[in-house]
Homo-oligomer: A and B are copies of this chain.
Amino acid sequence: MGRLRVGIVGYGNLGRGVEMAIRQNPDVELVCILTRRQPASVSSAVEVAHVSDAAKYQGKVDVMILCGGSATDLPEQGPQFASLFNTVDSFDTHAKIPDYFAQVDAAAKQSGHASVISTGWDPGLFSLNRLLADSVLPEGKEYTFWGKGVSQGHSDAIRRVKGVKNGIQYTIPHESAVSKVRAGENPELSTRDKHLRECFIVAEEGADRAAIEREIKTMPNYFSDYETVVHFIDEQEMQRNHSAMPHGGLVFRSGKTGESSTQIIEFGLKLDSNPEFTASVLVAYARAIARYAAEGFKGAKTVFDIPFAYLSAKSGDQLRSEML
């Protein structure tokens, strides 16, 4: 196999992350970037074209990496691109995955392409660990903690509070809850037991800070049932310390075997950049789906259907001698 030729569809944070990830994978080559903006407005070392011109890259691109959002972009682009190319995406609306899978699968089967949906880390690597742990420890309890990371929905909510100029919200796992799970105590924990919410606020001049804090902490659904911490900072500090997109989390399975042995499987991510990490996962799965396409597979797969050997540029011999 020569170098894997990929295209990027959608050039936001995720698309730029994919461009950077490709530089770390010498067996992968970026051929083009497709955007909904004016192509001339995007500066890149590779060809930039409008998404509506996608078809002209057939035969020039082995896999299209779809970097649009799950709310409106992917439900349309997923099936559409699967009828022209092999694709990989990080569709992450958990509840809609079965429908989305069916649509991409149908489009890919009809056009004779291969697609892998919902890669990334949740869904994606977290799902893989949930399935592995569930298969190995059928009697057990699963715990997922998210963060420390920015919740877009909660950040939007605090920015709507009167007197708030700018704001960001981090979801943070409660150390005490994590410790209980790690200790094998199998606690009953709701999402709110597992997480605390930390807000950084830039207040408008003269705003009533006590009122802002009260309104945030009592906001139904978003904050009222959580332990919430509010910090007031200035705009400079906001730009300096809160522009990154960190995220991560923990997936546990706490199981029992034999008479009463406690067995704990833990998987964790600590990410300085959520989009760059998701992009790195997309590139590894692009390699995998290209191999399935080369073998003649037609249709859609998920991360559950793909052995890890397909993700690596290394040969089976190499993997067995170096990594097993």
Residues of A within 8 A of B (CB): 17, 20-21, 24-25, 94, 97-98, 101, 118, 123, 125, 127-132, 134-139, 182, 184, 244, 248, 257-259, 261-273, 276-277, 279-281, 284, 287, 302-309, 311-312, 316-317, 319-321, 323-324
Contact = CB atoms under 8 A, between A and B. Distances in A.
A251 to B, nearest CB: 10
A137 B267 contact: no
Among all A-B residue pairs, the 10 with the closest Cβ atoms = A261-B272, A135-B311, A261-B273, A257-B276, A304-B309, A266-B268, A264-B270, A135-B284, A258-B276, A20-B258
Contact of A308 (B24, B123, B128, B137): B128
A300 to B, nearest CB: 10
Given A17-B258, A258-B20, A284-B136, A94 B324 contact: yes
A312 B280 contact: no
Contact of A324 (B97, B266, B268, B323): B97
Contacts of A132: 125, 128, 308, 311
Given A138-B25, A257-B20, A324-B97, A280 B307 contact: no
Given A97-B321, A267-B266, A305 B305 contact: no
A184 B263 contact: no
A101 B134 contact: no
5 contacts: A20-B258, A131-B311, A136-B277, A304-B309, A305-B309
Contact of A312 (B134, B263, B323): B134
A306 B316 CA distance: 12
Contacts of A139: 24
Contacts of A137: 280
B98 A317 contact: yes
A308 B20 CA distance: 29
Given A136-B284, A137-B280, 6 more contacts: A97-B324, A98-B321, A131-B311, A132-B311, A136-B281, A303-B324
A208 B281 CA distance: 58
Nearest to A262: B272
A21 B137 CA distance: 9
Contacts of A279: 257
Contact of A316 (B21, B127, B304): B304
A131 B319 contact: yes
B136 A257 contact: no
Contacts of A280: 136-137, 257, 263
Contacts of A98: 317, 320-321
A130 B138 CA distance: 24
Nearest to A321: B98
